[in-house]
Amino acid sequence: MVKLTSICWKAKKLQFLDSLRVYVRGGAGGQGYPKFGGKGGDGGDVYVKCYDKAKSLKELAKRHPEKRFIAGNGGNSHARALLGEKGQDILLNVEPGILVKNDEGDILGSLDSNNDKILVAKGGAGGKSENKFQGEKGQSLSVTLDLRLIADVGLVGFPNAGKSTLLKAISNCKPEIAPWAFTTKNPQIGIVKYKDQRAISVADLPGIIEGASENIGLGHRFLKHIERTKLLLFMVDVHGFQLGLKYPKRTAFETIMLLNKEIELYNPELLQKPAILCINKVDAETLRKSEKEIKKTEECLHELKQQLANVEESSLQLEETSRPKTFLTFDDTLTISAKTSDNLEKLKIRIREIIDFHASETSAMIDLSTTRRKARIRTYDEQNTHQLV
């Protein structure tokens, strides 16, 4: 197990809300009219719908502090109107990227595209002969609206690795930047624009810490947001990382292994995503640095390159609890300086190339699978036709 830190945030301090539990109930069915065989109206249903202009979960919670969404009851049947009216439906509009789960953890559906809709609580049937003209109760349950950000690229790194600085340098986003850890407390998305009008979204997420897979720090609140990204961009400080004076100093290589380990513990499938490694703070702006600082940076970079050349052997020098079982495979490794913009144009190009390469590979696999399926169907049809003749 990776050594855990004692850092912990209280949820109430976070301005960003990415999970909201609400109570939903379908309307009750209206009463039937036995004398004339009248049918009561069905109760209204409760839907959760994806709407790309919907307010955030935080705004939804503000507008509905009771967090209860109850559909209308069906109308009763009576002599003047034998068919009762259906109860009014409730349509809960949410932003894209919402996963809807019940209290047992079952996924009821995923809302990723505009107008996607999920029925979460069905209204009760109206009274009729089959139920002795007694209207039935609607479904009632609590569901969790769980936001997983949808972005092309997710920035992964320990606090103060330079993620916010990078996002500001390559996109239109203006995140808070400071020389201390944990400046990013809320996920932020920036758009990288290219000369041909291509746009790629990049998500800067709160810095991961050791123990994130165990829900330490922002824990799962961070890790879940990288699940829907197309590309993971790992950022490490070439000089290593130290959370605080009472915590051990980690080298750049140890940092990479710890990030690898945390993601592996959370969800090993994420290790299969395309990935870029950015070794940050390799500044070309040497005038402000002493010879000692420049030499130290060069030594750190040289050592890291040697370790990355043989990851498995180098990892044997680490504690067993800090070594991942499956090692990340990076599509590219770049040395950059987010602060001075060194090598960032090349990084932007590589982000685009790698996303497009893997997209084309996936498309080719789908085409191949479709071709094989058609071939199997054709073979099956030919065999069956032969037997009939």
**What is the per-residue pLDDT across 256-294, written as a single tens digit (0 to 9) for each?**
999 999 889 888 999 999 999 999 998 755 546 678 888
Query: For the domain that residue 44 is a member of, what is the CATH number?
Result: 2.70.210.12
For residue 144, the 8-state DSSP code is: E
Q: What is the pTM of this model?
A: 0.72
Statement to judge: residues 30 and 165 lie in one domain: no
Instruction: Please report whether residue 135 resides in a domain.
Output: yes
Is the model's pLDDT at 368 over the cut of 60?
A: no
- Average model confidence (pLDDT) across the chain: 83
Q: Report the percent of the chain where pLDDT is more than 90.
A: 56
User: What span, in angstroms and rounded, lies between the C-alpha atoms of 269 and 292?
Assistant: 42
Structural tokens at position 293: 């600082």
Instruction: Please report whether residue 5 resides in a domain.
Output: no
Domain count, the chain: 2
Decide if 91 contacts 101 (C-beta within 8 A). Answer: no
What backbone torsions phi and psi does residue 286 show, to the nearest 5 degrees?
-90, -10
Q: Which helix (H) or strand (E) is 203 found in, with range?
A: strand 199-204
Statement to judge: residues 80 and 224 lie in one domain: no
Statement to judge: residues 104 and 180 lie in one domain: no
Statement to judge: residues 124 and 176 lie in one domain: no
Statement to judge: residues 43 and 119 lie in one domain: yes
Statement to judge: residues 111 and 217 lie in one domain: no
Statement to judge: residues 305 and 278 lie in one domain: yes
Q: Give the pLDDT score at 172.
A: 81
Which of 92, 119, 147 is where one domain is finished?
147
Q: How does DSSP assign 45-94, residue by residue?
A: PEEEEE-TTPPPHHHHHHH-TT-EEEPPPPPPPBTTBSBPPPPPPEEEEE
Which of 117, 147, 177 is where one domain is finished?
147
Instruction: Please report whether residue 65 resides in a domain.
Output: yes
Q: Give the pLDDT score at 158.
A: 86
Statement to judge: residues 119 and 189 lie in one domain: no
Instruction: Please report whether residue 388 resides in a domain.
Output: no
For residue 11, the 8-state DSSP code is: G
Decide if 352 contacts 200 (C-beta within 8 A). Answer: yes
Instruction: Please report whether residue 1 resides in a domain.
Output: no
Q: Give the pLDDT score at 16.
A: 67
Instruction: Please report whether residue 283 resides in a domain.
Output: yes
Query: For the domain that residue 194 is a member of, what is the CATH number?
Result: 3.40.50.300
Which of 147, 169, 196 is where one domain is finished?
147
Statement to judge: residues 211 and 249 lie in one domain: yes
- Residue 190 Cα to chain centre, angstroms: 15
Q: Give the pLDDT score at 225.
A: 82
Statement to judge: residues 158 and 129 lie in one domain: no
| 243 — pLDDT class (breaks 50, 70, 90) | confident
Is the model's pLDDT at 90 over the cut of 50?
A: yes
**Is 1 exposed, middle or buried (CB count within 10 Å of its CB: 0-12, 13-18, 19+)?**
exposed
Q: What is the mean pLDDT of residues 45-59?
A: 92
Q: Helix H segments across the chain?
A: 57-63, 163-170, 220-223, 252-266, 291-309, 311-315, 344-388
Instruction: Please report whether residue 379 resides in a domain.
Output: no
Domain, as residue range, for 87 = 17-147
Statement to judge: residues 98 and 72 lie in one domain: yes
Statement to judge: residues 175 and 121 lie in one domain: no
pLDDT in tens, 128-160: 999 999 999 999 999 999 988 788 999 998 888
